[in-house]
Structure 1
Amino acid sequence: MNAFIEAVRVAGTPQGPAPVVLLGAEGTVDVLPIVIGFDEAASIARGLDAIDIGRPLTHDLLLDVVEELGGRVDRVHVSEVRDETYIADLYLNTPRNDVIVDARPSDALALAARTDCPITVDETVFEDGGEPLDRFDDLDDIREVVQ
């Protein structure tokens, strides 16, 4: 399924606040919530907002390295759930060949936010984990929590 980053919010959980990235998909009003870390959530938001802080942070650095070596991020694919953990693949075009790199969804989405590359989600993964978007309306945007 073709997907996009709908929002990055912060949910309250019994263990405390937890950032969640909401992936929307074409043809549905549901979203796929993926719980991620605060640093990755802030990085995704910075990528979406195209904020340059002067020095590269981790995801900016990784993208710089890929591009300096002649590669580019082709797409991000959330492929499965394994032991309650989402699995993503980062598709890269490189001068030698195209490669698929195993990645955490949060890291892959932080790169997608910086490159505007396509994001896809396995249909079964979305169907199994999808929830109505309005369930997340009361959650704070990550930008309001992390400054």
Structure 2
Amino acid sequence: MDYKRLIIRGISYSQTQSGAYALLLEHEESNVKLPVVIGNFEAQSISLGLEKDIHPPRPLTHDLFAKFVTSANYTLTSVIIYQIIDGVFFSNINFKNNDNEEELILDARTSDAVAMAVRFEVPIYTTQQVLSEAGILLELDNPATIDENFSPLEAEGNLASFPLEDLHKLLEDAVKDEDFDAALEIQQEIKRRNKKIE
């Protein structure tokens, strides 16, 4: 299968879900962004995994599992976000046994898979279908006029009443404000209209 490589663009506090964070992944070639809502612990664990100079006094769960993987003489080779159902991402963590080269694939929450990927510095992939269903493409070249005081969250229920060019502007503003929940709603409305045009 032709997998699309993702890079981590950042983690931000979710503006719509209390106590949650948005992990922002990006396809390297198309710049399509994939926002994944994650919990507080997972956000902290991914951040610590990215900051190689910071070491907690006691191992976190992901550090403990990473140590176990290494001690069992396995290598983590990649993470694949292979599916999204009802807004939930499904991922696999791929391992290789260093003794006999056998592969081991474990199902995992995407937040846990990414936390492990940053510890082993391995690539994160997804499929074109996941990018098409949940990806957000920020089109900066699209000229649009819209009220600057308008909030995308207020618009979510009324997106059908906006012209397409205004939706592109709303999408751009939502991504700039790191409001990925609203951006996803707007992107879905744009895709729904594009399907009608086709």
Q: What corresponds to 1:145 in structure 2?
A: none
Structure with higher helix content: 2
Alignment of 1:47-62 (within 5 A): 47-50=49-52, 51-62=54-65
Q: How far off its partner does 1:9 sit?
A: 1.0
Alignment of 1:1-147 (within 5 A): 1-13=4-16, 15-50=17-52, 51-94=54-97, 95-96=99-100, 97-132=102-137, 135-139=174-178
Alpha-carbon distance in 2 for matches of 1:29, 1:84: 21
Q: How far off its partner does 1:139 sit?
A: 3.9
Q: What corresponds to 1:144 in structure 2?
A: none
For residues 107-128 of structure 1, the C-alpha deviation after alignment (integer angstroms, 9 at most, x for no partner) is 0000111111011011110121
Aligned residue pair count:
139
Alpha-carbon distance in 2 for matches of 1:8, 1:17: 13
With structure 2 as the length reference, what TM-score do the two structures score?
Answer: 0.65
Structure with higher strand content: 1
Structure 1's 136 and 44: CA in aligned 2 closer, same or farther, altered over 3 A? Answer: farther
Alpha-carbon distance in 1 for matches of 2:103, 2:88: 26
Gaps of at least 5 residues in structure 1 are 141-147
Q: How far off its partner does 1:70 sit?
A: 0.3
Structure 1's 40 and 79: CA in aligned 2 closer, same or farther, altered over 3 A? Answer: same
Alpha-carbon distance in 2 for matches of 1:65, 1:108: 15
Alpha-carbon distance in 1 for matches of 2:44, 2:114: 12
Identical-pair percentage: 33
Gaps of at least 5 residues in structure 2 are 139-171, 180-198
Larger Rg: 2
**What's the Cα RMSD here?**
1.7
Is the CA contact 2:19–2:40 (under 8 Å) kept in the aligned structure 1?
Answer: no
Structure 1's 11 and 136: CA in aligned 2 closer, same or farther, altered over 3 A? Answer: farther
Segments of 4+ moved more than 6 angstroms: none
Structure 1's 137 and 115: CA in aligned 2 closer, same or farther, altered over 3 A? Answer: farther
Q: How far off its partner does 1:72 sit?
A: 1.2
